[in-house]
Amino acid sequence: MRTLWETLGKGPLRDIALVCMAVGVIGLSYGAIAVTSGFPWWFPVLMGALVLAASSEFLFVGIIAAGGSPIAALLAGLLVNARHLPFGLAVPDVLGRGWRRLLGTHLMNDETVVFAIAQEGLARKRAAYWACGLGILACWPVGAALGALLGSVVRDTDALGLDAMFPAVILALILPAMKDRALRRTALAGSVIALALTAFLPAGLPVLVALAALPLFRVKSLEGAAR
């Protein structure tokens, strides 16, 4: 059996490690915010391991902290995680079968899917998906635990600016793909949609609605092929 190093190589593994580290740093912010909002220290750790979806967890904590009901927070989190439906359609062969499929589904998130579809060949796709998924499964709850400890000391966690690291890393990873004109236009259209809706929709939903720009990529690709 080939190792991850042999299958993926140094570059992809380095990128995966950087993303997992960034996820851990965001976990610090999540754990600290949860504790300063009145949740016990173990809550963000347990949520981090069982839910493993940062945007819905932040949204859940935010709604409860603002006085909302647990049912409303749960429904909002489920709605945000509805973006996983197209994710599953994008990587059906990567998940495997049986218990591997169950675990693989739990590990499914933005990062694991992005790394999987960026690889050539099923073996590389699976290796990237599982390496990133297991790395996040380790880093997110650990980051949340450390953040819970941090939250008991630092009351104003927003002043640390931890939430800026993850978007910066993701942006650095996707910039090389923006050389494709059709993809660049589609990404720009999706960004405009998300930014326009940010002031009106809960966190996570603008990104979900931005998927409406995907047909534009298909149209542009077909136009390029026709030429």
The mean pLDDT of the chain is 79
Query: Are residues 206 and 222 in contact, defined by beta-carbon separation less than 8 angstroms?
Result: no
Nearest 5°: phi and psi at 134?
-70, -35
Cα atoms in the 13 Å half-sphere on the side-chain side of 201: 18
pLDDT at 170 (0 to 100): 57
Interval 64-122: pLDDT, tens: 877 777 887 887 778 778 777 777 877 878 887 888 888 988 999 888 988 888 888 88
Q: Any idea what the Cα angle at residue 12 is, between residues 11 and 18, rounded to 5°?
A: 95
Within 8 A by CB and 6+ apart from 39, the residues are: 61, 64
pLDDT at 221 (0 to 100): 44
Interval 117-159: pLDDT, tens: 888 888 888 999 999 999 999 999 999 999 888 877 765 655 6
Q: Which amino acid is at 43?
A: F
The answer to whether residue 214 scores a pLDDT higher than 80 is no
Give the end-to-end CA distance of the chain in Å, rounded to a whole number.
Answer: 44
pTM for this model (two decimals) = 0.70
pLDDT at 50 (0 to 100): 92
Kindly compute the dihedral angle of the four CA atoms of residues 123, 55, 82, 86, in this order, to the nearest 10 degrees. Answer: -30
The answer to whether residue 22 scores a pLDDT higher than 80 is yes
